[in-house]
Structure 1
Amino acid sequence: MATVLIVDDEFGIAELLDAVLSDDGHTVVTAANGRQGLARVEAGRPDLIFLDFMMPVMDGPAMLAALAADPETRGIPVVLMSSMPEDTVRERATGQAAFLRKPFRIRQVHDLVATLLAGGGSDH
């Protein structure tokens, strides 16, 4: 199975995603902001990242830009998550493999993980 990094300052969201993905057999690593997320990536390259848009210290767009700037990490698929509409998020962030609007359904998470780990993109 895959290693999935969850970067979200909302403990409940991170905990839910951790439980769902762990139950599916994935190894889950979590971080509370983009700076911690980049440190986790440096410690061990994940296969997939769920990244919150708005966080303290370093937000999602800044972490996404840092990942894209590094040849070692730019190929990691990132699911950008937000309660804001996707059009609003796209004004500040580019390069994500998929978008997940909060609140989301668990089925959406399963579908995104399956699609992205198989090498595809999605617009959920």
Structure 2
Amino acid sequence: MKKILVVDDEFDILTTWRLVLEMEGYEVSTASNGRTALDAARSSAPALIITDWMMPHMNGVELIDALAASDELAHVPVILMSAAAHAPAITHPHAQFRRKPFSIDDLIDTVRGLIGPA
């Protein structure tokens, strides 16, 4: 089973994405900020990370930069999501930006495109 790490400081979004992805057959873990997500990814590398941009302690862009600097995690694809008007500069070679709101169908299609079916 492919593991996905979902990172967001909004509980409702975190719960919804987790449930949707689990219904698709993925193993899902969650984190409420980038620092916690980085620790979780270091202890057990996921197949994919889906993260919000604006979060406390370590935002999504800072998380992506830390992942890109890690030999063990630089290969993990990342989806950065935000409702911000402008996309941030992302240097991670396997990261992409998606603007919120992001439909459930688009989420599933993007996940399958990156890591395949569960």
Normalised to the residue count of structure 2, the TM-score between the two structures is 0.91
Q: Normalising to structure 1: TM-score of the pair?
A: 0.87
What is the CA distance between 1:83 and its match in structure 2?
0.5
1:106 — aligned with what?
104
| TM-fit CA distance, 1:29 | 0.4
Considering only aligned residues, what root-mean-square deviation do their CA atoms show, in Å?
1.2
How do residues 22-101 of structure 1 correspond to structure 2 at under 5 angstroms? 22-85=22-85, 88-91=86-89, 93-95=90-92, 97-101=95-99
Q: Once the two structures are superposed, what CA deviation does each residue of 1:21-59 show, in whole Å capped at 9, x if it has no partner?
A: 000111100000000001110121000000110000000
What count of residue pairs does the alignment treat as equivalent? Answer: 115
Q: Which runs of 5+ in 2 are unaligned?
A: none
Give unpaired runs (5+ residues) of structure 1.
119-124
Deviation at 1:4, TM superposition (A): 0.2
- 1:73, 1:11 → 2: CA distance? 25
* Shift >3 Å, 4+ stretches: none
